[in-house]
Amino acid sequence: MFYMGIITGALSVIMPTSKSAIFFITTAITCIAPILMVLCGHHRINWRKSVTAPFLTLIVLAVILVNEVMLTALGIVDQTMNDLLSNTERSGLVFGASQNGAGGKILNALCPSFFKKALFDIPSLGIVRGDRLYWPIVWIILPAIIVILPICVALGAAFDFKNFKRDVKVFWSKVTRKTTESEPRKLSKIKPSES
């Protein structure tokens, strides 16, 4: 909740879908609420868990994908499957990032071009093989690891600095420990037991 709240709030500011003041106020609340939760002592951060944040992001996007497909298939949302697969018609990162804003450009640059092309023809939707079509969720795996992981580790380290510092010292001492494999080990002589 901590990492996802901050990341989604920050991404909404970087890649806004609206320019209204109420949008930015709600986005700020989404970003500030997890921070206050930690500062007030209602939640404790363990920086080691920050490594799982990109994978949790992918799980959340998978839930959003299933939700969007069900809403479209049941006719609850007034959109076609073409609109569903479009990265400009619907907000969210499931079906690709729009080219607007710095965040969208960064995510698009980090995504391999292979994940932005249709692999086969879909005549009912008017999609031809090779057309620009983001692979839902798959397209963001690499950008999530490259962008979200370092941000989450930095956030986790900032809010759990004491444990982060201790773990870095332990890691550094293991890395710099001098092991002398060339020196023979001294074996202690075992005295035979007297029976």
Q: Answer with the residue of higher pLDDT: 160 or 27.
A: 160
Q: Who's near 115: CB < 8 A, 6+ residues apart? A: 134, 135, 138, 139
- pLDDT beyond 50 at 132: yes
Backbone angles phi and psi of 174, in degrees to 5: -70, -35
Place of tokens 């795996």: 141
- Among 64, 147, 56, residue whose Cα is nearest residue 107: 147
pLDDT band at 165 (very low <50, low <70, confident <90, very high): very high
Q: Answer with the residue of higher pLDDT: 168 or 134.
A: 168
- Asked whether 45 and 156 are in contact (CB, 8 A), the reply is yes
Count other C-beta atoms under 10 Å from residue 165's C-beta.
12
Q: What pLDDT, on the 0 to 100 scale, is given for residue 180?
A: 46
Separation CA 94–CA 139 (nearest Å) = 8
Three-class HEC string of the chain: CHHHHHHHHHHHHHCCCCCCHHHHHHHHHHHHHHHHHHHCCCCCCCHHHHHHHHHHHHHHHHHHHHHHHHHHHCCCCCCCHHHHHCCCCCCCCCCCCCCCHHHHHHHHHHCCHHHHECCCCEHHHCECCCCECCCCCHHHHHHHHHHHHHHHHHHHHHHCHHHHHHHHHHHHHHHHCCCCCCCCCCCCCCCCCCC
- pLDDT beyond 70 at 183: no
Separation CA 139–CA 112 (nearest Å) = 8
Reported as a single tens digit per residue, the pLDDT across 12-24 is: 666 666 666 677 7
Question: What predicted TM-score, i.e. pTM, was given to this entire model?
Answer: 0.66
- Asked whether 26 and 9 are in contact (CB, 8 A), the reply is no
Count other C-beta atoms under 10 Å from residue 183's C-beta.
7
Domain limits of the chain?
Answer: 48-162
- Asked whether 9 and 27 are in contact (CB, 8 A), the reply is yes
